[in-house]
Amino acid sequence: MTEAGPTFDRFFDSMESLADTISESLQSQVTIEDSNHHVIGYSSHQFESDPARISTIIGKRVPNTVIIGLRKKGIMHQLENTARPIRIPAVMEVGLGPRLAMCIKHQQEILGYIWVVDRGNLAEGYAEGIVEKAAGIAGRYLLKQRGWKNRQDKAFEDFFWKLLTSHYDNEPRIRQEAEAWSILLPESYYIGVIESDKVMDEHFLLCLRQTMDAYPGQRLLFMTAEHNRLILLFSFVYPLEGTGVLASFVHKLLTDMSRSENCVLTAGCSPGYREYTSAAMAYREALSVLEIKKLLPYHARSLLLYDEIGFWAYVPAIIEQKRSRPRRSALLERVKLHDREHKSDFLKTLAVYLTLDGNLKESAAFLHIHTNTLMYRLNRIAEITGRSLKETDYRTSIYLDILTEETMQLNSWFQERGGSTGSIPS
């Protein structure tokens, strides 16, 4: 290969044309990516390829398996810390053949990557020179795009916050502003809120976006973070029947992210909506799920969806109402008085039995007593109160009283049960 070939001293209107020019010069396939490994340009010339490149072109993004494989072998670290192109041997376990690659940087900031398939025909020195020239052009393009993207991201975030805070009073106005920013609003959407035990930094946000990109059938439209809370607006390609798919999706996202980021995550998700004037309501519904999970961690440990919140939605309001009144539950008072006078454990017995759905065996095991002892205690509680737990109104009322008047005590009892907090740990 000689120095004669396509010139790089000209204007490139797209990264596709730059990739084609590199490809013509080196007679090999070329892919250009941004810093998130999304494909922004690839050569159209038909040369021999490998599975990794085929998957990348089809999905418009490098598959996570390829990125993880390269990072495990230290190749990405080497690439990102070298100022010149490097030759990468084949990593066949992820379907990647030999490559000539370069990390596109501005000062210390990574802007993207250039990958050239090495079929053994890349002349040493010449090929590196071509890729280096191309990286300079791609870097200027990506910096320009980043300036536009920053303005666009700010506009998207402002638009999202306006939706979440009921800024718009009608649907046409929302659609008009979305169209002005070329935002394609899906037919229906969900609002999800994720909280972490750690601050959500740029790395976390990037990882979450990449994780969601890897899930088929859904689309992340908006995302905004504040300290340790992340708010998402997402949709599914096809309408969902029931809540099973949504619950599985949210649970998998939390599990994958908690493992990769070594953190404890919890979340709440709204029902699906079609009207974007309802986004503020959807946001409040997602937050109310989180509120219940914080208030009663064990009892709401499996709760993720507002669609499944049931009577838990009213528990915070009942607590607030009770706080404004000096009187406490007459139903519980007799049991608590007996506990004080006889140093018994009847209130805890009642709380455990009701929490565990009246399961005698499980409740007895939790309390470390025999089933006969538990039955004796329940009979004594019925004698003390003059009411039977078989009565639905009494059973419901006394359970609500325990939940709303003995909340701290209840949580301390159930911390003993493995310390479950309703979150997904790493």
Cβ-contact 131, 123 below 8 angstroms = no
> Which pLDDT tens digit goes with each residue over 170-222?
999 999 999 988 899 999 999 999 999 988 887 888 889 888 988 888 999 99
Class of domain 184-319: alpha beta
Quick one: CA dihedral 7, 9, 13, 14, positive or negative?
positive
Cβ-contact 268, 290 below 8 angstroms = yes
Report the distance separating Cα 352 and Cα 318, nearest Å. Answer: 21
pLDDT the model gives residue 422: 43
CATH code that applies to domain 15-144: 3.30.450.40
What are the φ and ψ backbone dihedral angles of 369, each rounded to 5 degrees? -130, 165
Q: Which residues of the chain have pLDDT under 50?
A: 1-4, 418-422, 426
CATH topology match: 15-144 vs 184-319: no
The predicted model scores a pTM of 0.66
pLDDT the model gives residue 58: 80
Q: For residue 250, with 0-12 CB atoms within 10 Å meaning exposed, 13-18 middle and 19 or more buried, which class applies?
A: buried
b/e sequence 78-112, b meaning 16+ C-beta within 10 Å: ebeeeeebeebeebeebbbbbbbbbbbbeeeeebb
Q: For residue 181, with 0-12 CB atoms within 10 Å meaning exposed, 13-18 middle and 19 or more buried, which class applies?
A: exposed
Q: Strand, helix or coil at 1?
A: coil
CATH code that applies to domain 326-415: 1.10.10.2840
Q: Strand, helix or coil at 305?
A: strand
For the chain, the structural domain boundaries read 15-144, 184-319, 326-415
- Determine which helix (DSSP H) or strand (DSSP E) holds 104, and give its type and residue range: strand 99-106
Q: Where are the beta strands (DSSP E) in 22-85?
A: 30-34, 39-42
Q: For residue 133, with 0-12 CB atoms within 10 Å meaning exposed, 13-18 middle and 19 or more buried, which class applies?
A: middle
Token couple for 127: 């090929």
Q: How far apart are the first and last CA of the chain?
A: 52
pLDDT the model gives residue 47: 66
